């Protein structure tokens, strides 16, 4: 079925497990990957590697979809375990996650880079020992007040208008990941970085 080889890709959605976190800003990665799984008719229901994952094929490419269940700040543990087991290098690991530097509903594709203050990405970089992995950032809006605690902000919910914009961006975020696989980061960035819900 699915061998441990270099041909596989891993798409990771970052978030926090648990009902209380479902609709928070920090869980856009989970929600985007759920929609992607649905579009690919792939069930994310296998428990291993400190996460929940599913496996499918997309246009002949072996694809794994992963939702780490470690809590956000330790997401990299799950990513490392799964990528090591299936021998998937960082260049074939795509991470979907929330970004407070983008307004709600905007997308940004990047081929590599620093964590930009995102604890989930910090964990992935630390565990993989590399920041050279593609990512799709989903805008969730900046803190309204500079003195507001960042953790409180990312674990808060959306206003109705923000929710509408973010909801409209979640499916395209998954499509951007597939575009990276098919056409590469530059073309995916060119197509999706101007996206605004």
Q: Which residues are marked as active site? A: 26
- How many Å apart are CA 127 and CA 168, to the nearest integer? 32
Longest distance between any two alpha carbons in the chain, whole Å: 52
């Amino acid at each position: 079925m699915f061998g441990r080889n270099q041909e596989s890709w891993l798409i990771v959605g970052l978030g926090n497990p648990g009902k209380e976190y479902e609709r928070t800003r920090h869980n856009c990665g989970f929600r985007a990957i759920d929609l992607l799984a649905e579009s690919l008719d792939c069930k994310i229901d296998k428990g291993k590697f400190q996460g929940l994952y599913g496996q499918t094929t997309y246009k002949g490419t072996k694809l794994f979809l992963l939702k780490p269940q470690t809590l956000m700040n330790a997401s990299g543990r799950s990513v490392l375990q799964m990528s090591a087991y299936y021998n998937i290098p960082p260049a074939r690991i795509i991470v979907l996650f929330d970004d407070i530097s983008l307004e709600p509903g905007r997308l940004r594709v990047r081929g590599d880079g620093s964590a930009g203050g995102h604890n989930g990405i910090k964990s992935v970089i630390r565990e993989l020992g590399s920041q050279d992995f593609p990512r799709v950032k989903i805008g969730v809006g900046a803190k309204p007040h500079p003195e507001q605690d960042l953790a409180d902000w990312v674990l808060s919910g959306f206003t109705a208008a923000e929710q509408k914009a973010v909801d409209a961006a979640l499916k395209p975020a998954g499509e951007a990941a597939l575009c990276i696989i098919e056409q590469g980061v530059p073309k995916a960035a060119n197509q999706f970085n101007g996206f605004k819900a």
